[in-house]
Amino acid sequence: MEVKNICCIGAGYVGGPTMAVIAQKCPHINVTVVDINEKRIAAWNDKDLSKLPVYEPGLDKVVEEARGRNLFFSTAVDEAIDKADMIFISVNTPTKTYGKGKGMAADLKYIELCARQIARVSKSDKIVVEKSTLPVRTASAIKSILDNTGNGSDVKFQILSNPEFLAEGTAVEDLLAPDRVLVGGDTSTEEGKEAMEALVSVYANWVSRDHILTTNVWSSELSKLTANAFLAQRVSSINALSELCEKTGADVNEVARAIGMDSRIGPKFLKSSVGFGGSCFQKDILNLVYIAKTYGLNEVADYWEQVITMNDHQKRRFAHNIISTLFNTVSGKKIAFLGWAFKKDTNDTRESAAIYVADELLSEQSNVAVYDPKVSEEQIYADVDYLNTRSSEENREGITVYEDAYEACKDAHAIAILTEWDEFKTYDWKKLYDQMQKPAFLFDGRGLLNIEELEEIGFVCYKIGSGKE
C-alpha cells in the first residue's frame, strides 16, 4: 500500500518538526498538520518564519521549502482525517493532575478524544500511528475505541506505534539522520505487516532500511519509555556524583571524561547540570513507575523513582546553595537568571529546572530577573503560576523579565546560569561584573563558563560538581 495523504493531529514540538521533515523528504505525499489551537496553526502559517511556534535550528528552512507545496497547517481536523490514509496522533500526554494516578500516570484524555474523532469521521480504511509517548498497551485502548465507536461504515484500522526519539534543539538534525526509526505493529497478521511496511516505506525515502526496526506494538511502546528512563538515569547518576565531588575536591567533569572514555559507558549524557527538564524524562519515568506499581512490582517502581528524587534534589540543592552563599538571605536581593528554557536552542520550558529554582528563591523573597533569548515573558509567568505556590500577582512582583542580559544583571547580587545558551559565553563578563553589587556571585548550573577567567575578574564562583581543593 502506498501512502499518499498523511494527517497529523497535534502541531506541537513533535508533530510540527516531524511532519515538516516528512513533507520535505517525500514531495509525493501530502502532509496536513492539524490542531485545535487556532493561534498555533496561524503561527505555523505565518509568512515571517521567525514566528513559527516551535524554535528549532534549521526548521524554518524545511518549512519554507515544503509549506504550500505538500505541507499544510490547518484547523480543519475532520476534513484532514477524512482525506488521509495514514493518521499520526501527536497530541500532548501530560502527567495526570487529578484522580487515580494523579502526579504519575499519563493523562490520555487527548488521545482518547482523537481516537473517537477518527472513528466518527473515517469513511475509508486508515493506518493510525501513535507518535506521542504513551504508556504501554495504549494501542489496545485506541484500537478498542476505533473498532467500537465507528460511524457505521465498514472501516478497518491498523494501529502502529512509532515513537519519536528526536531531542529538542537538534530536532531537524535528529529527524534527518535518526540513530534508528522504530515501527511497532501487529506482526501476527498480513494486514498488520502491510501497514508496518507502508510506514517503513515513508521513512525509507531518506533513512536506510537497516536503521528502521520493526517490532510488536508493546515492545515499541516500552522501548521509548526505556530509552528516556536510561538517559535520565545517566544524568541523575552524574548529578548524584556532582554533590560528592563538591565535598571531596574532585571535579565532576574530569570524572565524566574519565569514565566516558570507557567504550562500555560512552561519553554522552554525562554532563552534570542543575537538573534535567523537558517534557519527556520525568513524565516517562513516572509512567514507568506507575505501570510497575500497577503490576505490583514495587522494587522496580522504587528503583526508577529514585531518578526523579535525585533530580528534584539537584534543583533544590542549587537554589539552597545560592541562598546560603549569599549570607543566608536573598530577601530583597536581585538574582539574575541567564536562561529559562530546559536546554539550549529551544523555546520549550516544560519542567525546566529554572522554574523550580526560581520558585525556591521567590519563597525567600528574592527579586528574580530573567533573561532568555527565546522564551517569552508570558511563558515565564505561566510557568511559575502553574506551580500554584503563590498568587499570580506575587509572581509578577517577584520576577522581572528582561530583553537584554546586561540589563537583567545590572545591580544584581548574583548571576545564575540555568540554560547553556552559547551566547552567554560571548558576553563581556568584565562589564557585567562592573555593574553588579559586590561581592558579585556567579552560580554556573551548566558548567558553561570558564571559572578561572571569571574569578580573575573578581566574581565569586560556584560551579556544579567542582570541589574546592
Window 266 to 305, contacts with ligand ADP (CB under 6 A): 279
Residue ranges that bind ligand UDX, judged by CB under 6 A: 164-168, 228, 231, 235, 269-271, 273, 276-278, 280-281, 342-343
d(CA 409, CA 164): 38
Q: Is 56 in the site for ligand ADP (CB under 6 A)?
A: no
Residues in CB range of 35: below 8 A, 6 or more apart: 9, 10, 11, 12, 15, 41, 73, 75, 77
Is residue 8 annotated as a catalytic residue, yes or no? no
d(CA 201, CA 198): 5
Rounded to a whole number of angstroms, the CA Rg of the chain reads 24
- Residue 37 binding result from ligand UDX, ligand ADP, none, given CB thresholds of 5 to 8 Å by partner type: ligand ADP
d(CA 413, CA 409): 8
Window 125 to 154, contacts with ligand ADP (CB under 6 A): 132
Q: Is 167 in the site for ligand ADP (CB under 6 A)?
A: no
Q: What is the DSSP string of 264-276?
A: TT-STT----S--
Among 29, 52, 91, 335, binds ligand ADP (CB under 6 A): 91
Q: Is 110 in the site for ligand ADP (CB under 6 A)?
A: yes
In the complex, the smallest distance separating the C-beta of residue 94 from ligand ADP, rounded to whole angstroms, is 8
d(CA 100, CA 94): 14
Closest CB to ligand ADP among 93 and 273?
93
Among 30, 40, 130, 273, binds ligand ADP (CB under 6 A): 40
Among 1, 5, 25, 36, binds ligand ADP (CB under 6 A): 36
d(CA 318, CA 314): 6
Among 115, 119, 157, 129, residue whose Cα is nearest residue 31: 129
CB 31 within 8 A of CB 8: yes
In the complex, the smallest distance separating the C-beta of residue 54 from ligand UDX, rounded to whole angstroms, is 12
Closest CB to ligand UDX among 168 and 221?
168
Closest CB to ligand UDX among 47 and 268?
268
In the complex, the smallest distance separating the C-beta of residue 258 from ligand UDX, rounded to whole angstroms, is 15
Convert 86-119 into a string of H (helix), E (strand) and C (coil).
Answer: EEEECCCCCECCCCCCCCCCECCHHHHHHHHHHH
Among 18, 19, 21, residue whose Cα is nearest residue 6: 19
Q: Is 11 in the site for ligand ADP (CB under 6 A)?
A: yes
In the complex, the smallest distance separating the C-beta of residue 117 from ligand ADP, rounded to whole angstroms, is 6
Number of neighbouring beta carbons within 10 Å of residue 97? 9
Q: Is 165 in the site for ligand ADP (CB under 6 A)?
A: no
Among 8, 114, 280, 461, which one carries the catalytic annotation?
280
In the complex, the smallest distance separating the C-beta of residue 280 from ligand UDX, rounded to whole angstroms, is 3
Place of cell 480504511: 125
Q: Is 92 in the site for ligand ADP (CB under 6 A)?
A: yes
Residue 454 sits at the vertex; the CA angle it makes with 450 and 460, to the nearest 5 degrees, is 120
In the complex, the smallest distance separating the C-beta of residue 163 from ligand UDX, rounded to whole angstroms, is 7
Among 22, 59, 104, 114, binds ligand ADP (CB under 6 A): 114
Closest CB to ligand UDX among 84 and 338?
338
Determine which helix (DSSP H) or strand (DSSP E) holds 299, and give its type and residue range: helix 298-325
Burial of 190 (0-12, 13-18, 19+ CB in 10 A): exposed
Q: Is 163 in the site for ligand ADP (CB under 6 A)?
A: no
The residues annotated as belonging to the active site are 280
Q: Which residues contact ligand ADP by CB under 6 A?
A: 9-15, 34-37, 40, 77, 90-92, 110, 113-114, 132, 279
